[in-house]
Copies of this chain bind each other. A is one copy, B any other.
Amino acid sequence: MEAPEFKDFAKEMVDYIANYLENIRDRRVLPTVQPGYLRPLIPDEAPQKPEQWQDVMADVERVIMPGVTHWHSPRFHAYFPTANSYPAIVADMLSGAIACIGFTWIASPACTELEVVMLDWLGKMLDLPEEFLACSGGKGGGVIQGTASEATLVALLGAKAKTMKRVREEHPDWDEATIVSKLIASPACTELEVVMLDWLGKMLDLPEEFLACSGGKGGGVIQGTASEATLVALLGAKAKTMKRVREEHPDWDEATIVSKLVGYSSIQSHSSVERAGLLGGVKLRSLKADEKNSLRGETLEAAIKEDLAAGLIPFYAVATLGTTNSCAFDCLEEIGPVGNKYDVWVHVDAAYAGSAFICPEYRYLMKGIETADSFNFNPHKWMLVNFDCSAMWLKDPRWVVDAFNVDPLYLKHDMQGSAPDYRHWQIPLGRRFRALKLWFVLRLYGIENLQAHIRRHCGFAKQFEALCRADNRFEIVGDVNMGLVCFRLKGSNELNDTLLKRINGRGKIHLVPSKINDVFFLRMAVCSRFTVSQDMEFSWREVAAAADEVLADKTMKNGHA
């Protein structure tokens, strides 16, 4: 494809995109295709000769659109929003044209530098503490991660590196032998041994009934803690034995330290926290949330005290601001000081709700942010920047850089050290020029319109809440925060499951469910940037109509029975 054809094709695509997005309501939000629908629609093999772009263009409607779930339809209320905006699309075009891989500063200075400044801009928009910002002249700074999952993992690895260093200093006997043995075999290995990821992971987000740590249901003990006295005795015995084993086989002792590390988050936190535990191989405890589904400082402190008493090393705590289940907010104002008191790295995961902090009236929900070590939110969720763009700030990125630094010669360059080499701040090596779309979006909307976007969405949620409360067959679950309404028919979980299936089966709007404390409910997330008040009324009428059907069926069945 030569430039003239590209121009024709791309311009036709521009018109197609505008038309698609402006008329997205006309499409069924959830497709009706069955698994495997696509294969028969296209050839079994790639064509030998090039095709015409016009044929490709025609196939977008024929092949692709029937199988698209329209995430940007005002009728899409599932999960959380994913961003989409005209400026971000144009930015991605340019990013695609420049197509640099910005793993080092020299690999494309503009790519790194724009990211540094954009994360400062964003940080200021959120009123983040100075320490997080590169422009403060300190050690801090921001980075765009692909997803919040990556940010969580990066923070976890930084936390691990930091704590390992401290423990090594406090207990030089614990790994002196290891270091020495490594020095004999291979000096360079030592540094990497520091970042071993052999930790034990536990899962989060389990239904509460499975978790002993939720308050005793299901077993009475949490994994690996038992009662305090028994555990201390066991650990004493183990430590004693381990010392001997260490002398016989010096490799053992880093693992010993590692096996003692323990992290914390709320049982309400996202599955990505669990994944970070899996990937990092570290013990993570799911802590009980209060009646508002919020993790409280006293719960964290009790857990830390318990683990310290048990000889464990608390090192990491995740506070979620805006949980996926119900948009609940952990109490950062309490959690942060507890973390600081015990030298536990506090990571704040505000993936969805973080965008709202560009509005001052919501900042009370991030009170205590000055106590955090790292902070993350996803402009690609709720701030009109196309996926992927997850913004993360660290007060002291050194810990993360240390954990990731594996520099082959072909990646070294003269400017090393004078600007962040972002490859050390993330999981993959390569990275796209993602700061561009942030820049385009911020400039072409302006803070005012981004604030208006957030406020409008929050207002739509309140509107839906009011419609729901006015119908006494329904109840609201918890508080309505941000653009999420959790609701259910008064009645059994089964009834609500039937309601959900009915709503999604009608195909006009799309919702997903969740469950807290064994209560099944529906989540109505405001997702689309095209949503207007009439769309909320439409969505509510759909819910009410589906409820009519479900309750009528039930009455009929009861009548028959």
Contact = CB atoms under 8 A, between A and B. Distances in A.
Contacts of A218: 186
A3 interface: yes
A99 B527 CA distance: 12
Nearest to A225: B185
Contacts of A83: 99
17 contacts: A20-B97, A44-B124, A50-B445, A53-B444, A63-B110, A79-B107, A83-B99, A147-B430, A149-B429, A149-B430, A182-B223, A185-B219, A186-B223, A188-B210, A200-B251, A278-B403, A281-B281
A410 to B, nearest CB: 5
Contacts of A235: 249
Nearest to A205: B408
A84 B97 contact: yes
Interface stretch (A466-474, A510-518, A539-547): A510-518
A323 to B, nearest CB: 11
A51 B448 CA distance: 12
A167 interface: no
A551 interface: no
B97 A38 contact: no
B409 A515 contact: yes
Given A46-B442, A428-B147, A324 B197 contact: no
Contact of A192 (B36, B48, B278): B278
A177 interface: no
Interface string A372-387: 0000000000000011
A386 B7 contact: no
Number of copies: 2
Contact of A10 (B90, B100, B439, B514): B90
A380 B276 CA distance: 27
A365 interface: no
A146 B146 contact: yes
Contact of A97 (B21, B403, B407): B21
A85 B408 contact: no
A476 interface: no
B100 A89 contact: no
Q: Which of A53, A101, A436, A501: most chain B CB closer than 10 A?
A: A101
A92 interface: yes
A88 B99 CA distance: 11
B212 A234 contact: no
A229 to B, nearest CB: 14
B255 A259 contact: yes
A203 interface: yes
A542 to B, nearest CB: 18
Given A71-B101, A185-B219, A6 B14 contact: yes
Q: Which of A35, A203, A237, A418: most chain B CB closer than 10 A?
A: A35
B279 A197 contact: yes
Given A38-B117, A86-B1, A513 B410 contact: yes
Interface string A245-285: 10011011011001100000000000110110011111000
A6 B38 contact: no
Given A86-B10, A186-B206, A272-B429, A21 B3 contact: yes
Contacts of A404: 275, 278
Contact of A88 (B17, B96, B387): B96
Interface string A439-468: 110111111110000000000000000000
A42 interface: yes
A128 to B, nearest CB: 13
Given A79-B107, A197-B279, 20 more contacts: A3-B21, A10-B11, A17-B97, A31-B110, A37-B109, A39-B117, A45-B121, A56-B439, A56-B444, A64-B436, A67-B108, A182-B223, A185-B224, A197-B198, A200-B255, A203-B406, A241-B244, A387-B430, A387-B432, A410-B513
A18 interface: yes
Which 3 pairs from chain A and chain B are nearest by CB?
A: A67-B110, A198-B198, A197-B281
Contacts of A238: 245, 248-249, 252
Interface string A8-47: 0111011111101110000000110101111100101111
